[in-house]
Amino acid sequence: MAAIAEPYRIKMVEPITLTTRAQREEAIRAAGYNTFLLRSDDVYIDLLTDSGTSAMSDRQWSALMLGDEAYAGARSFDHLVAAVRDNYGFPYVCPTHQGRGAEHLISKILIRPGQHVPGNMYFTTTRLHQELAGGTFHDVIIDEAHDPGSLHPFKGNIDIGKLEALVAKVGAENIAYVNVAVTVNMAGGQPVSMENLRAVREVCDRHGIILWSDATRLAENAWFIKHREPGYADRSSASIAREMLSHVDGLTMSGKKDCLVNIGGFLAMRDERILLKARELVVVYEGMPTYGGLAGRDLDAMAVGLHEALDDDYLTHRIGQVAYLGERLSAAGVPIVRPTGGHAVFLDAAAFLDHLSQDELPAQSLAAEIYLDSGVRAMERGIVSAGRDDQGRNRHPKLELVRLTIPRRVYTNSHMDVVADSVIRVHERRRDIGGLEFVYESPTLRFFTSRFAPI
Ligand SMILES: CC1=C(O)/C(=C\N=C(/Cc2ccccc2)C(=O)O)C(COP(=O)(O)O)=CN1
């Protein structure tokens, strides 16, 4: 990947501090060996998440200053509707405070208790809201997605055979909707091809099933189509994103990723009946249909950000930075999910710590070790994140990963070098790393607030 410089210059900085090893030992103990429970001031380079952690542009800050805080009918809402219509091609928008607000509403609208929701690998909050609405999630992603070493260029693809088999098994009338996430976070930020989107559309049309999309990282997915799928090299990522979305009936969006804002989300759709139901629910759970739990200034910042995120120079640098970190780690023999995805490098913790069983929580332990080594904060994406099934048993996902998640427009490759050096140091002494056990297990989305101790 030809290195390119950041397609922007920095106009404001936020100082970060390097802590001592002693300070980090105290901090990780106080956090129960859970990187979610660390204080920001105790973190040097924060790769916990790309969600809400991106840097806004001067244009977004300018738009924010012009936010219309009218309770109803604010100009800011009109600006968001126009931005979604012009960039994504949907006429109707219902803002929510963030992605899971949109997941909550659409799950209530589309799912009848007992129905099934096939999708390309689970995401924690998405599956939870589907289950809270009485639905059952079914993973219909291609097998390669569960193989960290597979170099399939579109590991986010839906397996048409698995989807058809589920329809045949439960009946199309018992499928609430098909959910296609672009990209697939838990598979390693892996994209879906346009060809696959068309194929899934055809299946849904043939059976009369709604096709919904979790479009949270759609700009990055569009860039991968441009650079990996035949016939798209000469297209802009923005035009590819519109074509992707032309194949789906609506979307949930966490604006905190590919809309480059610190808070925000929305539903977008073509069917006015869904809009009307969303408007009934949004006033109960989020606020007026024209603000959905957000300040007017947030809507304006999101309207500008969703357009900026589709810029090819920005995407080439952003995704190139992920690849840079991934290549440095691969060159040193560190096991990672290949090919590197759009928003993070995922360490294969099962291979990294192959002397530990999955029940010794290798990814949780590795994330804590990386923090101890350098103050770099990563996120566990393995057995702890997968939670327990409806029988109360620990789910055992094939992927036991640590996610090094890169915020947008925040860090330079010098920071990536610090991260790579740290992970390589930890890899060199991996045999000294032991497992962790729960000392407190929270009942819901346990990865957020559980606490652990060395075994
Ligand atoms: C594909 C996708 C996402 O990645 C997503 C949020 N991701 C997050 C934030 C997060 C959420 C849950 C556990 C840990 C971290 C991420 O760190 O990756 C949401 C919810 O959006 P929300 O956070 O705005 O509610 C919907 N879909």
Catalytic member of 71, 198, 205, 388: 71
pLDDT class of 446 with cuts at 50, 70, 90:
very high
Sign of CA dihedral 44, 47, 50, 51: negative
pLDDT class of 4 with cuts at 50, 70, 90:
confident
Mean pLDDT value of segment 53-76: 97
The structure's pTM equals 0.97
Alpha-carbon gap, residue 47 to 49, rounded angstroms: 5
Running DSSP on this structure, what letter comes out for residue 336? B
Whether 221 is in the pocket of ligand 1, judged by its Cβ within 6 Å, is: no
Best mutation site among 106, 117, 141, 254 for ligand 1 pocket (most ligand atoms within 8 Å of CB): 254
Catalytic member of 49, 124, 126, 216: 124
Assess contact for 115 and 178: CB atoms under 8 A: no
Structure confidence by residue, pLDDT tens digits, 129-176: 999 999 999 999 999 999 999 999 999 999 999 999 999 999 999 999
Residue 204's contacts (CB-CB under 8 Å, 6 or more residues apart) are 178, 210, 211
- CA angle (306 as vertex; 305, 308 as ends), nearest 5: 60
- Whether 17 has a pLDDT exceeding 90, the answer reads no
Whether 183 is in the pocket of ligand 1, judged by its Cβ within 6 Å, is: no
Amino acid identity for residue 282 in this structure: V
Query: In the annotation, is 214 catalytic?
Result: yes
What are the two backbone dihedrals, phi and then psi, of residue 364, each rounded to the nearest 5 degrees? -60, -40
**Antiparallel, parallel or unpaired: β 136-139 and 116-119:** parallel
Mean pLDDT value of segment 289-311: 98
Q: Exposed e or buried b for every residue in 168-205, given b needs 16+ CB within 10 A? A: eebeeeebbbbbbbbbbbbbbbbbbbbebbebbbebbe
Assess contact for 386 and 445: CB atoms under 8 A: no
pLDDT class of 2 with cuts at 50, 70, 90:
low
Mean pLDDT over the full length of the chain: 97
The ipTM (two decimal places) reads: 0.99
Give the closest residue (by CA) to ligand 1 atom 21.
99
- Whether 58 has a pLDDT exceeding 90, the answer reads yes
| Rg for the chain, CA atoms, rounded | 21
Query: In the annotation, is 123 catalytic?
Result: yes
Distance 299 CA to ligand 1 centre (A): 19
